[in-house]
Amino acid sequence: MVHGVRIKDHWKEQRLFERRALVAGCVIVVLTLTLIGRLYLLQVMRHDYYMELSQGNGVRTEPIPAARGLILDRNGHLLAGNQPAYQLELVPEEVPDLNGSLKGLVKLGLIDADAVDELRRMIKSRRPFDSVPVRLRMSDEDVARFAVRRFQFPGLDIKTRQTRFYPEGALAVHALGYVGAISEPDLQHIDRAAYSGTALIGKLGVESAYEKQLHGGNGYREILVNALGRSVQRQGALMPDLRTQAPAAGDDLVLSLDLKVQQVAEEALGDHRGAVVALNPRNGDVFALASRPGFDPSLFARGITNSEYAALTDNIDKPLLNRALRGAYPSGSTIKPVVALAGLTYHVLNPDKVEFCAGVYHLPGSTRLFREGKGGHHGHIALQDAIAKSCDVYFYGLAATLGVNRIAAFLAPFGYGSVTGIDISGEKPGLLPTPEWKKLAFKRPADQVWFPGETINFGVGQGYLLVTPLQLAHVASVIAGRGTNFRPRLVIGLRDANGTVKPIAPIAGKSVEGVSDADWDRVINGMVGAATYGTAHASFKGVAYSVAGKTGTAQVFTIAQNAKYDEKTVEERLRDHAWFIAFAPVDAPRIAVAVLVENGGFGASAAAPIARAVMDAFLLDADGKLKDASQAP
């Protein structure tokens, strides 16, 4: 069978090809027109828009940190200011090898090896485009050492920043506080954008409490950068419109501190561990807040090393401890004027009745004996002399008559057992003991019982009672004001960039009520007696003003009933603490003072002379005469 042969149709193939070529040509024409249209849209119609975006790719916004506010004393003396310094900073997203860069900085001696881990954590906690300080306050030698190896450290650069300096060194450091590098915990409660470009933040004292006012508001500037992120002067033939916003400087703080009084307080303490607080009874202004030993706040402002910090924390004298606010001690006999007021107010005490002090007190119903301080005796004595001469036996009997609950209830309005509310953080409330407190404080039922002997000790400021120097200065202030109560404060005004000072009004607390004028007179006269013929008379001979004061000696350890305390044989850190509280002038008080000398022995010899020096510095002029009341702050 023969099959037919199919003949190829060339004309059909040609027509098919032509149709396909026509379709392809149409598609090409449409795509070409679309591309041309898109190019026209992008480069002609939307030229300005995309030009702005393209310039934005080459523009970087850099923060301009605000100048931190100054801190001044009440007379305008500078206590904390700013000065320019070189600072090494790192931008995380621009550093290809963070670990390698940090190791390189260690080799150059620019950072400590012990600080690497903490630095790494801090860098990783920051935003990748933030500039993170890794070394504060570089010396010229540090700058030169880094500059010659700058090419080895991409993403790191030296910036000129303002850093904190304290012209008076360690003076008033526990009131001022200090600034330090922003840490991971700080980042949890600050606005990161507001602190962009800022390396330091307040850590303690007024530097921390008034951080918001001191910090101010950062500005910014736009700069041109190349592909490597380095700044350039121009980009091609185009000069973009770069914006700049100036920062707003922080407010200056005007403190209630008097630099002269503060200096005298710290010099008078000398090498002793202790504290001095001086207040204005009329408004709560703090004229001096001294705690010794102290430390140089510049260590933290420049970036403290681990070894330097360890030297402070391991120091047995605890220089970082603010003893004025956080040191808690038995009050000793400084409590006696308030206990006397309690006895008078509750009408269980006849101020004119003479008691007999034989040097020992027999607790009714007990064989235990409570001895007079120093092993002495006062013979026949009434209230005024009992305060002036600090008769323990007299107040043992008064405490037993009053009872613990009435003593505690009367002490509370004076501020015992609670914070004064001073405008910096860290204050301790001390301890005002009661039977209810003891039940909660101890676990064993036998330890929860309040014994009559504990009330006796309470009445002379021993036992469980704990106070701070600030609290006792506040108590002296309340007595000076005959019950008037003002919250202690360190900041009395804010000064803006124009030099205008906005005063901060004092805050009055609840006054002590129920005490008659006659009873205030009786107790204050007893305190005047302490400075004229009583326990502190030696420190106030020839004084140019009237003084009301009270000495106090607080035991550090309990002495056996039949044992005798001998200061010469007792190890120095086991010796009694020395207290003195006072105010002056008596008729129109301008200053109230509390002095604590740790392990100083007797308040009359160790603490009272310091109080005299502080009050002299505040009340007397250069000729040693009492300043006119109109000159007083």
Active-site residue list: 333
- In this structure, the chain runs to a length of 633
With CA atoms as reference, report the closest residue to 336 among 373, 291, 376: 373
Q: What is the C-alpha separation between 336 and 410, in angstroms, rounded?
A: 12
465-476 per-residue burial string, b: 16 or more CB within 10 A, e: under 16: bbbbbbbbbbbb
Helices (H), 273-419: 298-301, 306-313, 323-326, 336-345, 383-388, 392-402, 404-411
Q: Residue 50 is encoded by which pair of tokens?
A: 């995309």
Sheet strand arrangement including 577-584: 286-292, 274-279, 591-597, 577-584, 548-554
Burial class (CB in 10 A: 0-12, 13-18, 19+), 302: buried
Q: Residue 58 is encoded by which pair of tokens?
A: 């080459």
Q: How many CB atoms lie within 10 A of CB 192?
A: 12
Q: What is the C-alpha separation between 456 and 393, in angstroms, rounded?
A: 10
Using alpha carbons only, how large is the chain's radius of gyration in Å? Answer: 37
Q: Transcribe 48-116 into DSSP letters.
A: HHHHHHHHHHTEEEEEEPPPPPPEE-TTS-EEEEEEEEEEEEE-GGG-S-HHHHHHHHHHTTSS-GGGH
Token pair 């924390």 is found at 313
Contacts of 199 (CB under 8 A, 6+ apart): 87, 89, 133, 136, 161, 163, 181, 182
